[in-house]
Amino acid sequence: DSSVFTMSKPGDPRLDSVVVVKHGTQDVAEADVALIGFPSDEGVTRNGGRAGARQGPKAFRELLMKMGTAVNPEYSVDLRELKVYDIGDVDETLSQEDAIASLSNLVFAAASHGAIPFSIGGGNDQSFGNYSGWIRAHPGKRLAVINVDAHLDVRPLLADGRAHSGSPFRQMIGDASFQGSYRVFAAQGSQCSAEHAGFVLSQAGGAIDWLSQIRASNQAGRPTSAIFKALLDELAETHDAIFLSFDIDAVCGADCPGVSCASPQGLSA
């Protein structure tokens, strides 16, 4: 076991000081958060998108090294007691279907021992693996699913039955174990099928917070952070847990140009 990064200095603990490499789930019961990498973008290319997301876990870990202090004096946040275990990546040599199953097993191991799974993709087809692992660990729980995304990700499977980066939440909604609600935050109507929007809204608790609605609230003096915090509080009252998926193409292309489907509009970084 060892610290992942080495940016901490005396009197200045950085985020590296709370992350420990484990490369396995044997000690995950000790963790508060379990980092899991999903280095795959086959689901993206199956959906007609641009490859490259498989580099996400590696880039995330490199960036984490450069991020800020573990104690933020401005906001009185102290992360020094947080235990973040990096339990490694899904095997890149697996088929896409086996990779999703492997991810599901890692999430199950973390969630069943009380750790919060934090998965880094990779394509958003990972979201079904994240969901399926968590629900196996907590059967019967009412789960609020929030997908921060420019897209709705409820496309049908391909004609040959294969899943892809646009289908994870349709798979989730169709799963017999799913009890809860699905909400998309910051969706862009220019990138969403009306039929798919109708599908989301036809589900019990289904909702879409369009980017235009968020912007209108911003102009009225309500920041996005306050809107999102209120949403979390609302859903926490009626659900047992919250599953947050963040597809970074929800961020405008000027701030986040490296995504498969960049847009000139979106959330600000």
C-alpha to C-alpha distance for 163 and 43, rounded to whole angstroms: 7
pLDDT at residue 244 is higher than 80 = yes
What average pLDDT does range 71-79 have in this prediction? 95
Amino acid at 55: Q
What average pLDDT does range 21-30 have in this prediction? 91
| DSSP notation for 12-79 | B-BGGGGEEE-SSSTTGGG-SEEEEEE---HHHHHTT--S-GGGHHHHHHHHHHHS-BSEETTTTEE-
Give ∠ CA 40-130-263 in degrees, rounded to 5: 60
Q: What is the pLDDT of residues 149-193, one digit of tens each?
A: 999 999 999 999 999 999 999 999 999 999 999 999 999 999 999
Predicted local distance difference test score (pLDDT) of residue 66: 76
Predicted local distance difference test score (pLDDT) of residue 6: 59
Between the alpha carbon of residue 236 and those of residues 180, 229, 239, 242, the distances in Å are 12, 11, 5, 7
Q: What is the pTM of this model?
A: 0.94
What average pLDDT does range 63-75 have in this prediction? 88
Neighbours of 94 (CB within 10 A): 14
Pick the residue with more confidence: 239 or 9? 239
- Identify which of 222, 40, 26 has the alpha carbon closest to the alpha carbon of residue 120: 40
The owner of tokens 């069943």 is: 112
C-alpha to C-alpha distance for 45 and 124, rounded to whole angstroms: 11
What average pLDDT does range 7-33 have in this prediction? 89
